[in-house]
Amino acid sequence: MKIAIYGYGNLGRGVELAVAQNPDTELFGVFTRRAPETVKTVLDSTKVYAASDITRYKSDIDVLVICGGSATDLPKMTPALAADFNVIDSFDTHADIPKHYAAVDAAAKQAGKIAVISVGWDPGMFSLNRLYANAILPDGKDYTFWGKGVSQGHSDAIRRIEGVADARQYTCPVQAALDSVRAGENPDLTTREKHTRLCYVVAKEGADKARIEREIKTMPKYFSDYDTTVNFITQEELDRDHKGIPHGGFVIRTGQTGINGAHKHVIEYSLKLDSNPEFTASVLVAFARAAYRMNTRGETGCKTAFDVAPVDLCAMNRDEIIAHML
Amino acid sequence: MKIAIYGYGNLGRGVELAVAQNPDTELFGVFTRRAPETVKTVLDSTKVYAASDITRYKSDIDVLVICGGSATDLPKMTPALAADFNVIDSFDTHADIPKHYAAVDAAAKQAGKIAVISVGWDPGMFSLNRLYANAILPDGKDYTFWGKGVSQGHSDAIRRIEGVADARQYTCPVQAALDSVRAGENPDLTTREKHTRLCYVVAKEGADKARIEREIKTMPKYFSDYDTTVNFITQEELDRDHKGIPHGGFVIRTGQTGINGAHKHVIEYSLKLDSNPEFTASVLVAFARAAYRMNTRGETGCKTAFDVAPVDLCAMNRDEIIAHML
């Protein structure tokens, strides 16, 4: 199966590495809006093409993994590219998914292609776990916690404050809240009770640190609803201790069965990831495999992780899977 | 959707209760090999029929949930009943699944019915989590831990020892092993290092407790490969403190991505269940829904949890699911 990457940032590099880890996938190349000769790939063998040339390679690519941003790139790219390719994206603006779905579905159906949208870990694996747990325990309550992990959006927001040279923000789940949920106490949790925000900030020389800290902590939407800790460190410390992009989180459903709900159950799924983009890329490649198989069987249109039979995600054949994994 | 139960023990009672929790399922009734009038159901409204009469109700039942034992019941019952009904079972003898699969597949295909086998939490939800995690992280290692929970088979084995009036055995995961796995240390664990066995035993009056304890701890297969603790208690204590059937466990895959496997990831799924049979029954009912939907679309033959698109498990419609759970 030949996979191509459209858009080459952290996620695209992750896909490049993930394709190399899978026995049945091969990388056709990377498509970029930059000048191809200026792009340095992770692997020497990776070919780089101009994004504008992509339709020339329609018959060479089985699945295209679109690695663009959800705010402006994917709403345009995914429907456009679904007219010529089986595509996968990681569209993650939860509120806009139905709109994105409709646009992509129309394009993919018209073209006889498959598009799988919103693949990754949230949306993606976390969504799947919410669905399975809800199907099993109709009488229950869902909780999602994120972290400890780097939020790129919050780090960027801090960097836009005057006097800030660099910054890294971690989202952290509150342990007491997790413990209460796991104990089946079904707490109603406010935003503040679920997560804290931990910031490492490099101030420019002479900047007013007290003002920076105040601006962070009172920033609406991003920080004002949270307990936020601000640590000022040097650029050297930031580069040494906070260069990674770890993330993760927890999806928990607690529910009850039996007479008068006598029996409580806790279903928990958790991820602890050293590299958010590399893990997301690994999920994308598994769903690229499924997309190709589904389209080969004649299926078309927009799909989500919910529509994919798990057997289609795995390189092993079905008999082996049933014999060894069931 | 009309569901019927074939076989009425703990699992059958769990299905009876689970059907009542789901808005789109209705219980046709219970089929038993006992005299129907001697069977007391959990819910007053439940009708009881003779198992031998079941084919009379072919057109009244959408899915039959077969609640028999894996050792002798299911290998006969599931293929036989798949000739007339869409069926679900919880066949859990892992090594014999391919054989069971083949027999059920032939019968279901011939009849134009769907059969979903080996549904529950292990096999079932644990299998699904092994598959998803393997598909995402091809370079990694799987771990499954069970417990803390009651093993019926081990409890029965103790009860067969001379001088034992009653017994309850708990399988317990070893915390140090779990910690090592979660820390990404990729340990190679022996049977003894993964689980301990905790026994509560009621001795008959005058029985030799030292001999009973020795016989338990040295019993091949069941106990000799484990660190086993034996506590003698009274029947009153057993009835008061150990009447439940809790269980649960952990499926963990650790793996790496990136250049030279630079980034480690931990995927963990865990269950903590107050009632093993009620939870298993809840999983069965969700897959009964999927089986019915798949058969309505024309699919036939033997399926496993791996073959079922998650969207088919849930009572909500697909648009709602995409809008609210993705």
Angle, helices A97-111/B318-325, rounded to nearest 10 degrees:
130
Q: Do A313 and B131 touch (CB under 8 A)?
A: yes
What do you get for the CA distance between the two ends of chain B, in Å? 26
Contacts of B182 in chain A (CB under 8 A): 272
**Can you give the pLDDT at residue B137?**
98
Nearest CB to B325 within list A42, A131, A267: A131
Which ipTM did the prediction report? 0.97
Taking residues A33-41, what's their average pLDDT?
A: 97
pLDDT tens, position by position, B121-135: 999 999 999 999 999
pLDDT tens, position by position, A173-191: 999 999 999 999 999 999 9
Contacts of A130 in chain B (CB under 8 A): 325
DSSP 8-state secondary structure symbol assigned to residue A41: P
Task: List the helix and strand counts (H, then E) for chain B.
Answer: 11, 14
Judged by CB atoms within 8 Å, which residues 174-203 of A form the interface with B? 182
What is the Cα–Cα distance from A87 to A301, expressed in whole angstroms?
Answer: 10
Judged by CB atoms within 8 Å, which residues 296-325 of A form the interface with B? 304-311, 313-316, 318-319, 321-323, 325
**Can you give the pLDDT at residue B154?**
95
Confidence grade of residue B74 (pLDDT, cut at 50, 70, 90): very high
DSSP string computed for A105-154 = HHHHHHHT-EEE-S-SBTTBHHHHHHHHHHHH-SSEEEEEEE-SEE-HHH
Q: Do B264 and A278 touch (CB under 8 A)?
A: no
CB B31 within 8 A of CB B50: yes
pLDDT tens, position by position, A106-149: 999 999 999 999 999 999 999 999 999 999 999 999 999 999 99
Judged by CB atoms within 8 Å, which residues 23-62 of A form the interface with B? 23, 42
**Can you give the pLDDT at residue B285?**
98
Confidence grade of residue A80 (pLDDT, cut at 50, 70, 90): very high
**Can you give the pLDDT at residue A269?**
98
Amino acid at A262: A
**Can you give the pLDDT at residue A207?**
97
Question: Which tokens in the block code for residue B176?
Answer: 């140090």
Q: Do A182 and B304 touch (CB under 8 A)?
A: no
pLDDT tens, position by position, A15-25: 999 999 999 99
Which candidate in A117, A128, A257, A266 is best for mutational testing of the B interface (most B CBs within 10 A)?
A257
**Can you give the pLDDT at residue B70?**
92
Q: Do A325 and B134 touch (CB under 8 A)?
A: yes
**Can you give the pLDDT at residue A88?**
98
CB B47 within 8 A of CB B58: no
What is the Cα–Cα distance from B110 to A128, expressed in whole angstroms?
Answer: 33
**Nearest residue in chain B measured CA to CA from A183:** B272
**Nearest residue in chain A measured CA to CA from B90:** A326
Confidence grade of residue B88 (pLDDT, cut at 50, 70, 90): very high
Whole-angstrom CA distances from B9 to B68, B230, B277, B296 are 8, 28, 9, 29
Confidence grade of residue A281 (pLDDT, cut at 50, 70, 90): very high
Q: Do B314 and A135 touch (CB under 8 A)?
A: yes
- Percent of the residues in chain A that have a pLDDT greater than 70, as a whole number: 100
**Other Cβ atoms within 10 Å of A59 Cβ, number:** 7
Taking residues B129-146, what's their average pLDDT?
A: 98
Residue B48 — φ and ψ, nearest 5°? -120, 135
pLDDT tens, position by position, B178-190: 999 999 999 999 9
Q: Do A101 and B23 touch (CB under 8 A)?
A: no
Taking residues A236-253, what's their average pLDDT?
A: 97
- Percent of the residues in chain B that have a pLDDT greater than 70, as a whole number: 100
